[in-house]
Every structure is written in structure tokens, then in C-alpha cells.
Structure 1
């Protein structure tokens, strides 16, 4: 069985994301938001997905793809018998007038490198997930595509006839393509693109220089940090789980979900990742998003929300081919209706830095005490309620160990805040909830396995149990922590070092692929319990599962090393960053500390 990888490069500017194939075609681009319909989406349908490409005239060609060092500027080089050329793709992003300039604009610079390359430029955007064909209006130096709420415009110095007639032409000088949604580019084309490119390169390289990253696999951490950064929708601060929708967790599994939303369960891990690299701006924006969500909550927090704070994310199936024929293609996500009670602890843990991180001002803590009390109240109300758990089972409700862990961790965070505020009532309630949650966690312990199971009364082990160590519930030096990890290794680890979430059947059968974030949790746990050499070895195995650009998917087939699931997966990159941080902190210390 051949190894499947997503041979795609990611570009973006925190207003939109796009995926570029090694043949230069734009496989995925949603405008005007991360969760909007695709403008180009042949990733999910070769006929309805539209096309934006700069292909060579010959069918036989070779290609290579790489990022300009320490940036999100992508280069694709194509060579055939006629010659060689490079397409540089980027989304402009840089500081301007005391704010970030991040237009809905994809820029393509096409340069001849050798010989006399002949290329064909195709631009055919679509609307409403391919069901709407746009009309075209030709002007002197641009083509307008009409039919959406705002105009899409292609501004170029390539003869428009070649693009409209899809004719090949000789590329004997640098050419430019600028595609915009809404506000068009009205300035000088070549000079403006070159200035935008210089400014964007400088922005990303400066951003990387401002990160705090150790020497431990620094290149991989930098690429993960750059990918994670792109998944923040800066307008609101939301951070989405992945760029795409409906890429299957395994072929034929029907586990095809829309991940272009913000999961509350990811909050703690994402904030930790940005804090670990010393980036406060992203943390602050994400806090603002969480704070906005909290003002809307009445009865309960949902597991996920839209990037604008939308609560209702009704799931629909579209009439599209699907990735490699994998149906259904879904937009929306019915998980918003699920009961997932760990979210309250996630919110509390997320609020803790407001009080312990001195970079936050006092006025930024306004109303946070009310949010704390609300989350504690919800923990108290749900303490004896089953839920769908971290993995969002659709038809299974249990008393999940992971939920109680975050009840405990959230209450523990509230204790620290109560101490800071000298609020005795909050401290008393938080301590009471910590004790109750600990009792529930201990009810999950199975002496025969020497491990905590996934739920009270269940015999099954779950990789989320690694968080009992990483969140500080279990003493990492204790025998129980060590035997717990060993039991999870025995039950869930593959010979390749990958980890399944669990191995028991769920709503869709038994999971076929491993979940990368769990594998990185395992690495973290190894580092924390003192198995540092094992942690380094397993980390080195995991970074071989990236694509050619260092980007990670959600899932990996252990037997073939194939990438599956939505891509790129922000959560997987968070896992890499946090695992590298744990190992680097251990490496920085003498053995006797």
C-alpha cells in the first residue's frame, strides 16, 4: 500500500488560508472567511471546485516546493523540457498605520529561471461550494468575476486573452497575478507586489525572531509555530482546528468532519503553545474571543463555536465528489449540540494567566471573577452528569475521566485566582469541587491494569489519560504515574511509536488511524516522568510524519505512514510545539534537578 501524503503548501495572513499543490494549482481557498464557501476547492471536487493554476505547457514535468526561510511565503518550482520557472505565492501581511494589513488578496509572482518555459494560466473561481458559476467581465488590465456579495478581481500584466482563452505563452520575464475579494488592487502592479513581498517576508522573519525557542529541533518548531499562527482568525481572535473540511480520518471511514471552527477543548493546549514560545499577542487575542463567548453563555458552554462566536453550526452534506471520492462532504458540525463538560475546566485554566501573568493589566480582568464563578457553578451542576467526552461520541454518554480531570484542573486554577483576589467563598467552593472531582477520577482507577480507564466502570484505556500526568494530577515521580504510562503504551502504542486515541468501538466502529496529538502527549509524558531518552527517540519518529514542507495532518496510518484527516491540523502542530518544549526544558537542567 502506497504512502499517502498531502502534497500541499499552506499560505495565509490571519484573514484567510489557502492550500497550493506542487503543480501550482490552488487546491483550497475560502473567502471571505475561514468558514466561508470555497472559491477554489478542487480538493473536494475536481469538476465543481474551480481552478487557479500556472501550469507548464508539457504534461511531463518535475516540481519542488519550499518556504522562504522562516516565513509563510511559498515557492513552487516547475521544470519541463522547455525550461524552469518559479511561482511565489503569498498572502500579504505586514504592519501599516499602527495595524496589520491583511487583505483578502492572493499574490502570485511568476519568474522564468532557465530556458524558455511555456505556461498556461487558468483562473476560474466559483461560489456556494461549486454550485454557483460566476460571470466574467473583462477590462483593460483585469478580469472581474461577478455573482458573489463582492467582486473577485484578477489584476495582471499577462495578456488577458491568454488567460481567457487558456492559451500557453512563453514566460520570458517576471509576471504577476493578484486576485482580490472586495477591495481591488488599484496601485502599480509590479512595484506594489514587490513591496508587498518584501514587507511580508520581513514581517514573518521578524515574528520568528521574536519567538523563544530552544535549539531542540528548532526548524520543526518554527514551522509548526508559523502554521499555528495562520490558524488564528485575527478579526475575532478565534483559532480554528484545521484549514479544511471533510478530509477523511481514514479512507472509506465516513469520519469526514468540518474543522474550520474553534474548539473549547483546545483552549489550554493552544494557549500553552503560544506561551511556550513567548508570543503574547496571539494569547491576548484568543482571550478576547473566549471572553466574548462567555458573555453569551446561558445554560452551558458548547464544545465548539464559529469564528465569530456563532453558536449554531448546523451540519449539512453537500453534493460533491469528496476527497479521493470519500463522502460525505460536510459543512457545519453537529458536535455543537453535544454535552462536553470538560469545557468549564478549560475556561477556568485559560483564565488563570489573567492573574498570574503580569503582562495583563488590571482592567483586562474586569468581569473575569463572574466568569470564574459561572464556570465553577457549571462544574458543580455537571459533576454527576455523563457526557460525550473529549472525543465527542455521538451516541455514547459516560462519566469520563478526562472530564473530571478538567473539573479538577479548573477548580485548582480557581483556587489560585481566589487566593490572588482573597476571595474566601470562591476558594472554599473550588476546593470542594477539587475534592469531588478527585474522587471521580479515582473511581476510574483499575488496579488490575495499573491505570486509569477512560470512564467510571469502563475497562477501556484512552490516550487522554496521559493528561493526568501532564496537568499535574498525578505526581510524575510516583510509581502510579509510571505504571499508568506503561499500561497506555501496551494498549494504545503502535510499533512505530504512534498512539491511537482508543481501541474500543465508537459510533463509527473501531478507529483505523492514530491521532497525532496523542502521540505528542505520549512524548510529553515520557519527558515528565523522567524517560527523557525515550521521549527524544519517540519525538524523532513523529517528525517523520510531516509532508514535504513540515506540515502535519490530524491522523496517521501506522502501517503505511499515510497522512489522513483534516490538514494542516493546528492541534497536531500544538502537540509538536508543546512536546519539544517539555523535552528542551529537561535538557536545559542538570540530571540532579
Structure 2
């Protein structure tokens, strides 16, 4: 009988080296780490199964804990208080940026750095190092070596540097020691592929040096790039740092989340792998990066998406909706039956079968991303211009098709309104950029198709019964994605039909607290899911665009109230228990927070200045 992880999702914090990420529990255990990339197999996987590996450092016996990130940096500090003293644990992943603040040094070490210090009293400490490569399939061989412990097994080599005496029992290393007030010690876990040179020991001075380099890299990045000034600045800045931490720096890809298979309902089957990069998220992600991180990151993300999708546009090819962080196309899904899942939520999945779905909204997302970055050097280079023209043409020719929609429903394809809306957006941006992309001769045709799509949405997407725009043509089912209509620019939020849609969603597509569901219609899967934080932030943003400041702030603060003590959000909230659900930390939720805060800030500024709110020109 395998042990099941039962910690709350909110009990975890993330550290990142912009290549991979680790989740650290409030009890000092690293229970999730995939190396060498975000989408690699896990080395520590206790998050999904009690026997899938961990690395724990904590006081022995009873202890309370509090934690925080260092301001401006993804450095996690956990303070333990016991009856015998106070212990501080600091966690960071080694990272060293080049002087341009955007590129990783190629010789930067791959390592997790952990520092301990006793601030008061005398604290007995227990450490447990239990790596289990390949999602727990491999039981490695550990052995003592000068300066620490060597591990071999599967495709990875690793070295745990420590001056703490440890006992090794084949695949588990344990240590018990005491720190007194003023004493400190450090640990470093390095890894390498089996064909590379094995990492060697690091002494305490070297670990401290790498730790300081990582801190300075994060702080320097924050100083250079985080300039947002507005309400909820701390949350917006933290969200920008999380997006940076979810960026695979070698390519610029932004992943949807650091985890796979954290469920949308406890014990349910809606457990997906989110460690990939979605075109669906493109324009929203770029807006958030622009506000809370850095335009250069936005540029590199666009280049990654365009480069990955370039070969799939034209000649009838279907643009893929997501890619691996290196630009890989085949993300075939499989189940990992040996893993029990978080709180028994099976199956655990690796890969994502939605990679080969048809989603027509991708054309609007990629054109929206290009529109945001249109003034940046080299975004509209000859190859990208050709790619964008083909994307607009594909939207024009395919918009009448059925697809699986933004939410990747696994039932029968439908005429989803959001897909039509984003095809409209692709044509709208294509017309606006026609001269820049060398397509002036296409403008009359693109304008004609754009008007045709807009008319179809306004007629076939509207339900008198629902008093709202709905999920798909001819349906009465509400869908939160229709809140994007004013953000995209088809109708202003002040339009009576749009105002009625916002009211309908705020009344009928929410739980008892006011958090928004994506939809409540049949979707081809058993069970149901929690409320969706991104959609709740969309509602806040829609109220802001409609000029309703109080309602916008109320909804924003409701959704933002579900950040954990570190400012992190998962994908959803359980309607009964109010626990965070879904993969974590979730880029989409943080993107929604940033963009809604920006919209509310813009409305507040406009009202202070006695003028109408100006919708940004990226819409």
C-alpha cells in the first residue's frame, strides 16, 4: 500500500532556477523537483505519492513554522519555533544571470542550496534525503563520499554536499544533529545527466557564494524590471516573479504550472500535466509580463511560440496549441499507475493529449501577442511576417469549423464562441498590422471576413433565454470566456448586451462566495471541478472595463484572498472546503491577477483625473 500525500497544495512554496522548479513544504520538505527541465521526470515526487522521493530538513519533534520570500527574490525563508529554540531554513536554486539580466550563464551550476541557522536556544534537527528518479520508478544507490553523498540511478547523477554526519541505508540518507544559537550549516544538491561529468562536493564557503549569487541575480532582475505602481503592488510583483520562475530561460517558454496531475476535484480524474507552454495563453501572458516583469521576457516568449508553430501554418496544417519547453511537438499523454496521486486523485498523467486538439483561438492569441510587441525590434522580421500572414489567413478560412475550445473539452467539437471571437481578433489585428507584415493587398478580404465573424457572434452567440453571450452558438450555457469580449475589442463593456452578460455570469456562474466557474455545462468528463481563479479575475477586469470600480475591487479582493501565505495561487478553489485545487503555482491565475489589477489601477487613475478610462491599445 503506497502512502498518499495529504498536505494542502497551499502548504507549498516554489523556488526556481528558470530551468526547473522545486516545491518546498512549510515543514521544510522538498516534495517536488523535476530535473533537468520543468517537464522532465521527477527526482522528488512525494507531492504525488509518499514513496516517490523527498528531501526534508526540520526540527525534531513539535514545531510551528512561518515563512516568507525575500523581497524581490524567489528565496524561501522558513522559521521554525520549538520549545527548545528557533531555527531558520533558507532555500534557493542556484541561478546566475549574465549582465543583460535575461540570459543564464551556460556554466551556472544546477543545484538546490539550503542554509540553516539557529537564532535562539538549541535545536535538534532531523534530515532525510530520499531521491527517487523517474517518478519513483528508480531506487538509486547512495554512498558516502568526501564532502557528502554520491547518488547514482537512472539517467541522473547527483551529489549532496554537507558537513553534517549522515547514515546511508542504500537509497536513503538520514542525519540527526544539533545547532546552537549562532551556529549555521549549509547543504547543496547538484545533479547532472549520467553521461556528463559527475558533480563534486562544495564546501560551506562555496555554497554561500552560490547562494549570494542567486540572491543578487533575483534582486537585480527585480530592480531592473518590476516598475508597476498601483494597487496590490506586492501581489502584482510576486506574480511577476512567479511568471519569471515559470520561464524556461534557454528558450523563453512560459509553462502553465510547475506540476502535473494536481486535481481539479479531490479524488477526481481531471488531473492534467501543465508543465508545457500554451499558445492559448500567449497574449494574456504577454500583457502580464509587460506589466509585472519585463518586455524582453515577453519578446523571447513570442519568439519561442512563433518558432515552435512556424512549420504548422499554411498548406492546410493545423497550428498546435501547446509545446514542450524546448519547442517539442509530440506531447503524447500516458498514465503513471504506480503513483497514488495527491490525496488519492488518480490517474497521474505525464504528457497532455490536448496537444493535438483543434483550437481555433490560437490564431487570435498569436496575432494578439504580435500586436502587443509590434514596436519591438525584430519581432516583425521577414520570417515572422510570413508566419503572421499565414495565421490570419488560417483564421479567415477555418473560423466556421467546430473545435474543442479554450477549455480543451474532451467531448464532441462545437462552435465555441470564444474560438470565433479569437478568429475575429486575428483578423482585426491582421488588418491593423497589414502594412507592417506586408499584407496590404489582403485587407479588403480580411475586413470582410472579420465583419462576417463579428455578425455571427452577435447573432448566433447571443441567447435571449440566458440574457447573455454563451459558450457556443445555439447554446444557453454560460461560459466565463465571454468576459473577454470587451478585452479583445469586439464590444465595449458598456454595451447593454455585454453588461447583461457580465451580470448573468456574476449571478449564475458563481459559487456561494462569488468565485466564478469556467462553465457548468456537460464537457465529456465524469465529475466536476472547482471555481476558476483566472475567470474570477476576468470578472473583476470586466467590471473595471465597464467603469464599475467598487464591483471590480470587490471581486478582485475575493479572488486575491486565496493566495497562500507566500502570495501563490493554484488554478481553482474547492467550492466546499475553500482549499486551493489544481496545478501549482498556476501561471494563468497569476496572469489574471496582474491584468485585473492593471485594469483597476487604470480605472482609478482615470476617475481621479476626471476622464474616461482608456482601454490599452493592445486590445
Query: Could you say which TM-score interval applies, normalised by the shorter chain?
Result: over 0.9
Q: How do 1:2-401 residues align onto structure 2 when only pairs under 5 Å count?
A: 5-47=9-51, 49-58=52-61, 60-96=62-98, 99-101=103-105, 102-161=108-167, 166-172=174-180, 173-182=183-192, 189-209=203-223, 210-277=225-292, 279-297=294-312, 299-318=317-336, 319-355=338-374, 357=375, 359-361=376-378, 365-401=381-417
TM-score by length of 1: 0.95
Q: 1:185 to 1:512 in 2, by over 3 A?
A: closer
Q: What's the CA shift for 1:405?
A: 0.5
Long gaps (5+) in structure 1: none
How many angstroms apart in 2 are the aligned matches of 1:291 and 1:313?
Answer: 18
Mapped contact 1:407–1:433 kept (Cα < 8 A): no
Tell me the matched-pair count: 587
How many angstroms apart in 1 are the aligned matches of 2:258 and 2:572?
Answer: 14
Q: 1:322 to 1:278 in 2, by over 3 A?
A: closer
How many angstroms apart in 1 are the aligned matches of 2:118 and 2:65?
Answer: 14
How many angstroms apart in 1 are the aligned matches of 2:7 and 2:49?
Answer: 22
Mapped contact 1:419–1:427 kept (Cα < 8 A): no
How many angstroms apart in 1 are the aligned matches of 2:535 and 2:483?
Answer: 8
Q: 1:591 to 1:492 in 2, by over 3 A?
A: farther
Q: What's the CA shift for 1:432?
A: 2.4
Matched, 1:549 2:566: yes
Q: 1:216 to 1:149 in 2, by over 3 A?
A: same
How many angstroms apart in 1 are the aligned matches of 2:593 and 2:53?
Answer: 34
Mapped contact 1:15–1:103 kept (Cα < 8 A): no
Q: CA RMSD in A?
A: 2.1
Mapped contact 2:79–2:87 kept (Cα < 8 A): yes
Q: What secondary structure, in the 3-state scheme, does the structure 2 residue paired with 1:535 have?
A: helix
Mapped contact 1:31–1:104 kept (Cα < 8 A): no
Q: What secondary structure, in the 3-state scheme, does the structure 2 residue paired with 1:541 have?
A: helix
How many angstroms apart in 2 are the aligned matches of 1:138 and 1:5?
Answer: 34
Q: What's the CA shift for 1:113?
A: 1.5
Mapped contact 1:454–1:465 kept (Cα < 8 A): yes
How many angstroms apart in 2 are the aligned matches of 1:3 and 1:93?
Answer: 28
Q: 1:57 to 1:3 in 2, by over 3 A?
A: closer
Q: What's the CA shift for 1:421?
A: 4.9
TM-score by length of 2: 0.91
Mapped contact 2:159–2:200 kept (Cα < 8 A): no
How many angstroms apart in 2 are the aligned matches of 1:386 and 1:499?
Answer: 26
Q: What secondary structure, in the 3-state scheme, does the structure 2 residue paired with 1:534 have?
A: helix
How many angstroms apart in 1 are the aligned matches of 2:38 and 2:228?
Answer: 28
How many angstroms apart in 1 are the aligned matches of 2:7 and 2:124?
Answer: 32
Mapped contact 1:3–1:561 kept (Cα < 8 A): no
Q: 1:167 to 1:178 in 2, by over 3 A?
A: closer
How many angstroms apart in 1 are the aligned matches of 2:126 and 2:389?
Answer: 61
Long gaps (5+) in structure 2: 1-5, 613-619
Deviations 1:228-263 (A, max 9, x none): 111111111111111111111011221111111111
